[in-house]
Structure 1
Amino acid sequence: MDPPQNFKDKVVTVAGASRGVGLATAKFVLLRGASVSISSSSAANIAKARAQILEEIPNCDDRLLDFACDITKLDQVEAWISETIKRFGRIDCCANVAGKEQRHIAPLTTLSLEHWREIIDVNMTGMFHLLREELKVVSNGGSIVNVGSVNSKYASFGQGAYIASKHGLMGLTKAAAFEGAPKGIRVNAINPGGIRTEMTAKPFVLPDGGQFNASGDTLPQLIRRMAEPEEIASSICYLLSDEGKFVTKAIWYIDGGFMESNFTA
């Protein structure tokens, strides 16, 4: 059975679409009729994602735009949004999936300014750039979904930059919901738990040089497995679609029943 065409005639942007949840989100809406503009900071990665999409979803070339965009650079975000509108005429929905993990666990007392700024630049400033430009152009009645993390609510030892950035993103989401409301633009956030992706397969480096591998066995969650990217994408797309048209300023946890635990100490 073909998927329902509930995104037919919609134009959707997906930031951070080269792999994982972003790529799954792009495929989800393409299969349901959308025209989609995908971006990633790496030109090679986004070209690879485009090729994979076209292999899996034939005949969608005219509904797919790929663009190399470093979201920490406002001019690149402006260029991506402008090119999307030039190609498709408008933007109806935005999935802001881009983000950067803090793979090196370090207490605040030894966390370098370089690593702090690297995380904050992507997860806060980059998301601000996206929202800044999206709120100017998204169609009346449109929808924006930001992707945070269970660390938007919880905390653990040695991830101060990441935790601060993801907590901050929730405040930014709520502020954007107020500002989008006069045009009927809904702004929500979802916070995933552990996801089976290329990124999460890499170990965290602990202060003593040891490693921590995130898995269904090591993460403190009730569902003892990692989520598939498609499971997270489906929640994003519910909020993007008209099926979620009475939901705004919401923060949803799609985390398998994650429980706060100092598992990295």
Structure 2
Amino acid sequence: MSLYYGIACRRKSFWCYRLLSTYVAKTRYLFELKEDDDACKIAQHTGAFYLFHSLAPLLQKSEHQYLAPQHSLLELERLLGKFGQDTQRIEDSVLIGCSEQHEAWFALDLGLSSPSSINASLQKSEIETELKGSFMELRKVLFELNVKDASLLSTAWALLRWHDAHQFCSRSGQPTKKNMAGSKRVCPSNKIIYYPQIHVNLRELEAAAWFSLDEVAAALRRKGPYIRQQDETFPFWLPPKLAIAHQLIKEWVEKHSRSSLPA
């Protein structure tokens, strides 16, 4: 019995060490890409791009859910060339993560204007026809995506939105310049550095009304990560308990539960 217990403990320790080692390696790689423009540009050649148009991600409908297609740098360059766009537009992309094999993931919005881009935004309908997909509002389809796509697209949406709102320095009024990864913006005139800060608007969460308060509360009480609506159209997943999003959802439910109690 003690031998079996020892083997089980060693296997668990090895698994935990391997998981931690993978996490550390990914974190170091992402930090390198955020700080080194040359390394980030090299990573784009072997990485994958998720496309947006005016903050709406490009999605393709599968049998039971929506999928976010990935595009290589070569495919993206061909797309831009077909619509008469300069490939310099790719520099407007932002780094949103990487795989365990260090394949970097980027997001690029083809519908937002940028001081660094000499091209106008591409026509939404033309891109949808070319790529056989649809640009859809993320809020409306978030729970019809798998967990990976939902997380990546949410991160991409927040970063793209932040960069779109911080194209000019608040002190000098001059255009700010984004680094290759999109981890910061710098004002060339006074060297002020702006870092992305994602703020959660609680009013937007309350107004979204994706699910009823009872459904969200029921999902929080469940031990498993999924709960289905009554019509069983698609699953409702919750972020991990240690995630900030999970705590925000929990606070929102508790806030409304307390306000509904009789005085």
TM superposition score normalised by structure 1: 0.23
Higher relative contact order (CA 8 A, sep 6+): 1
Q: Select the structure of larger CA radius of gyration.
A: 2
